[in-house]
Amino acid sequence: MSHPDLFSLSGSRALVTGASRGIGLTLAKGLARYGAEVVLNGRDAESLKAAQSELEAEGLKASTAVFDVTDQDAVIEGVAAIEQRRGSIDILINNAGIQRRAPLEEFSRRDWDDLMSTNVNAVFFVGQAVARHMIPRRRGKIVNICSVQSELARPGIAPYTASKGAVKNLTKGMATDWARHGLQINGLAPGYFATEMNEKLVADAEFTDWLCKRTPAGRWGRVEELVGAAVFLSSTASSFVNGQVLMVDGGITVSL
């Protein structure tokens, strides 16, 4: 007996923001391995080209779209250009994000604005620009990258925590407004993964020791371990899942 392949992404096109490195690049590669044609976004053309070559060397279909996700006009233009030149965006992974660390009493207005601009405004800008194309087609998948900090605070990163809490609730709001148009919008919340964003923490033996004790799985996450959840939320398998945040965190948010 044959079964429909609920997880196949063949014939679909995915835009992944912040895909030049780290989690974005890994998710783009993962979606492409499941059959999607991927469009890699970031601000630096050179690093995006290198990422594209990495995927193409594996026989995967990839192109690049250079724009700053915090610039709404650039986002609208960039999304329209992809739709015109390459075809419909079926999947959006809203991944671009930044971190700034300082005690809250010393946190600068500038760092606060940068965080909100990249982590919150951009999720709205790109989500809305892409949804405007998806809604008339009555289908589309949006995956917003949340965080353990969508639920829990930690010293020195209160504004990041606020931004990721906002992404979680924006995900619920997008689902509430757009599910009726045939879209599924969900969140994917990584725990602690060893990427460039976390290089200071990875190098900090005391932090790693604390993290391994605090995480039921007892270790840092490997970025490849985010792919399964992203494929699920981007595929037919999640056709009636809406407004949920899937934690991929080794259990850190369910235990004290």
Give contact residues for ligand NAP (rule: CB under 6 A). 17-24, 41-44, 47, 68-70, 95-98, 118, 145, 147, 190, 192-193, 195-198
Give the separation between CA 155 and CA 160, rounded to whole angstroms: 11
Nearest-approach distance from CB 11 to ligand NAP, in angstroms: 26
Count CB-CB contacts under 10 A for residue 5.
Answer: 13
Select 118 or 238, whichever has its Cβ closest to ligand NAP.
118
Nearest to 166 by CA among 215, 212, 115, 206: 115
Residue 160 known to be catalytic? yes
Side-chain-facing half-sphere of 83: CA atoms under 13 Å: 17
Give the nearer residue to ligand NAP in terms of CB position, either 71 or 181. 71
Rounded CA-CA distance 45/77 in Å is 16
Q: By C-beta, is 11 or 246 nearer to ligand NAP?
A: 246
Nearer to ligand NAP, 5 or 45 (CB): 45
- Per-residue CA distances from 215 to 34, 156, 158, 200, 220 (Å): 30, 20, 21, 19, 8
> Which two tokens mark 159?
């504004």
Active-site residue, selected from the candidate residues 34, 67, 125, 160: 160
* Catalytic site positions: 160
